Structure 1
Amino acid sequence: MRADYIRGCREYSLERLERGDIQNAVASMMSDMKKIPNASSVMQNIDAIVAVASGDFDAARAYIEGFE
């Protein structure tokens, strides 16, 4: 169940990223992962925010794809 939820969240966020919407792609994944206890760390979130601020699509993709 958890894996299915994460997969759906990942697919949605990656679709947004592919459209060039890095901010909402990362924000969506970050918001969704807050709903799962211990799914993300503070450092992962900081890295994601830095990726958005610097426009680093590769780092944003790594963040989104980094959840199991």
Structure 2
Amino acid sequence: MPDAISLARTASEAATYVQQAQSALSGVDKRNIAGALDTVSGQLNAVGTAFNRMSPGLSAMAARILTRSV
């Protein structure tokens, strides 16, 4: 169960990064597009890092589920 809790927290963290990226794009115009895209890039990189951190736990959970169902 600790893996599930950790995965849920990481997924929530990733969702927050995506929301922040979306917020950075609201109100974008030709004067501030470069800065907004830089912000979005940083947020999406953080999402990728969160998913990479989550990968081992997710793989372990999937393996346990598959082992039980075979």
TM normalised by structure 2 equals 0.40
Higher helix share: 2
Q: Which has the higher contact order (CA 8 A, sep 6+)?
A: 2
* Structure of higher CA gyration radius: 2
TM normalised by structure 1 equals 0.41
